[in-house]
Amino acid sequence: MKQVKKYPAAITIFGAKGDLTKRKLIPALYNLFTDNHLPPAFSIYCVDFLEVDPDEFRKDMLAGVNEFSRNGIAETAKWNEFASRLFYLQGDFQKKETFIGLGERLKAFEKEAAQTISRVFYFAVAPRFIETISDALYQHNLCNKDNLDRIVIEKPFGTDLDTAKKLNRFLAKRFAEKQIYRIDHYLGKEAVQNIMAFRFANYVFEPLWNKKYIDHVQISVSEQVGVGKRGGYYDSSGALRDMIQNHLLQLLCIVGMECPGAYKSEQIRDAKTKVMKSVRPYTTAEVFKNVVRGQYSAGLINEDPRPAYRKEEHVASSSLTETFVAAKLCIDNKRWQGVPFFLRTGKSMPAQSSVVVIQFKDSPHKIFKDDIVPNRLIISIQPELEISLLFESKIPGLQMKLKPVEMDFTYKESYTETIPEAYEALLLDVLHGDATLFMRADQIEAAWKVVMPIIDAWKKYPAKDLHMYKAGSCGPEAAHTLLKPYAKEWYELPFSKTVKALPDLKSVQ
């Protein structure tokens, strides 16, 4: 890891009582602390409007660490040291007194540190508070050092292209672009970061990474969970905005990008943005030919009954919101012209998995009659971190018979080091001022431009071709049809191959 000067850090989390803080942020910061990645002098200020006893808040955060940290139960001495720098501040985001009080705490910490500090402000809040908090930070001069002060904003970043542009302009008037960290936790996952290393550090693969050798690409993120308690948010968002516009398009960029001139933040982000801008936009008619949307009905997952989406809490009984999307996208550039990228995501699927499949073209000379399975590179992001290459091999014996076999690389077999959580990697990058894994304003807007024709088409014809699929199935049959003639069905990781997709129900007309 490159050496980075560790300035004393004042980390402020807005939305202290939310699930994100308890389940992800505090466990990540605690792990960074125990692994000696935080600077010697740091303070964490957690802000929310609820009146909470500070000691009770610390106990609640400890419960979060004990339950959700990759390292398990916290060591008492380490936790006590960490907790001594963890503070709860009660305050309304919409009142200036909150920011005046926060400013006083930051000044006191800076005086105690006796040197310049770095300030990080994490927005673990509903989108409606982003502008309110941003303006307050600006008005009270709490985040005004371009090189040391940063804000971190969770998705969703806007609800469409216009709102994303508006938010970008709003933030640009108050902060430098290099201060704004638009976070997508998928980019912090170890296996996702490894895709670039795999491509650009291994020359054996990079010459094959183009239209001459690759038939198609599948990027699939399946969620076993339904919407749970997020029905209110999800019903106004849907799978397209919640997953495709950010997570899956970011994976597409990493798979499809050109090799940057150097491993430097702006060059890497330039390469990703260039790919995004090359994705072919669709007309309304093309949307319904190349994009499949679905919604889960009641079904079974691991023998447990699951309700239909329309029966979930805070979901409208006649909702047309999609919980499943499969899309065929084309990248119009020299490297990828004619190679389709298939993206798929859905809730209430048979298993939790994220996988990228690079399927190569058939052998040009078919001299073996049973040479029928094309080479396939499989990058598993979750649940197992694994890269495998499928190739044909001769079965031992006196006859020339072929069988596809896999050559595997797995993290757990190759490394003894524990794998950091995505939020650990991303928070550390924020502290170091490294924006490589974060999205720039133009990249955000380019991603919205890709999905806007789909959003507009569905808005124009809200009930057209909304396919119902049973919870526990692999999605609507129409998603498999979308792959033809490139493949018969979506690739499923081995642990879920035994689960067959149930027949697609009649589309909602």
Q: What is the pLDDT of residues 100-149, one digit of tens each?
A: 999 999 999 999 999 999 999 999 999 999 999 999 999 999 999 999 99
Q: Of 502 and 142, which is predicted with more confidence?
A: 142
Distances (CA, A) of 189 to 155, 385, 426, 503: 16, 10, 9, 34
Q: In this structure, are residues 262 and 439 in contact, taking their beta carbons and an 8 Å threshold? A: no
> Diameter of the chain by CA atoms?
84
Question: What pLDDT shows up at residue 3?
Answer: 56
Q: Check pLDDT > 70 for residue 290.
A: yes
Q: What is the mean pLDDT of residues 264-269?
A: 95
Instruction: Decide if pLDDT at 498 tops 50.
Output: no
Element at 114 (helix H, strand E)? none
Instruction: Give 419 or 455, the one with higher predicted confidence.
Output: 455
Which residues does 189 contact at the CB level (< 8 Å), separation at least 6? 381, 382, 422
Tens-place pLDDT, residues 292-351:
999 999 999 999 999 999 999 999 999 999 999 999 999 999 999 999 999 999 999 999
pLDDT tens readout for residues 468-491:
999 999 999 999 999 999 999 999
In terms of average pLDDT, the best of 224-238, 277-291, 482-496 is 277-291
Q: Taking a C-beta distance cutoff of 8 angstroms, is the pair 28, 131 a contact?
A: no
d(CA 480, CA 483): 6
Is 247 a catalytic site residue?
A: yes
Comparing CA positions, the residue from 30, 444, 59, 166 lying closest to residue 11 is 30
Burial classification of residue 42, based on how many CB atoms lie within 10 Å of its CB (0-12 exposed, 13-18 middle, 19 or more buried): buried
Question: For residues 333 and 340, is the Cβ–Cβ distance under 8 A?
Answer: no
Q: Output the pTM of the full model.
A: 0.91
Instruction: Tell me the pLDDT tens digit for each residue of 388-439.
Output: 998 888 888 888 888 888 888 888 888 877 888 999 999 999 999 999 999 9
Looking at this protein, which amino acid is placed at residue 213? Answer: Y
Query: Exposure pattern of 166-198 as b/e (b: 16+ CB <10 Å)?
Result: ebbeebeebbeeebbbbbbbbbbbebbbbbbeb
Is the pLDDT at 374 greater than 60? The verdict is yes
**What pLDDT does 410 receive?**
86
Mean pLDDT computed over every residue of the chain: 92
DSSP H or E segment with residue 364: none
Question: Which of 18-22, 52-56, 399-403, 482-486 comes out lowest in average pLDDT?
Answer: 399-403
333 close to 273: Cβ distance less than 8 angstroms: no
Closest CA to 239 of 296, 183, 277: 296
Q: Is the pLDDT of residue 456 over 60?
A: yes
Measured CA to CA, the distance from residue 253 to residue 274 in angstroms comes to 9
| C-alpha dihedral sign at 65, 68, 69, 74 | positive
pLDDT digits (tens, 9 = 90+) for 177-215: 999 999 999 899 998 999 999 999 999 988 999 999 999
Selected catalytic residue, list 216, 247, 467, 480: 247
The single-letter code of the amino acid at 408 is: D
> Averaged over 358-370, what is the pLDDT?
84
Tell me the mean pLDDT in the region 253-278: 96
Q: What is the pLDDT of residue 500?
A: 37
Range in 241-245, 271-275, 368-372 the model is least confident about: 368-372
Contacts of 370 (CB under 8 A, 6+ apart): 401, 402
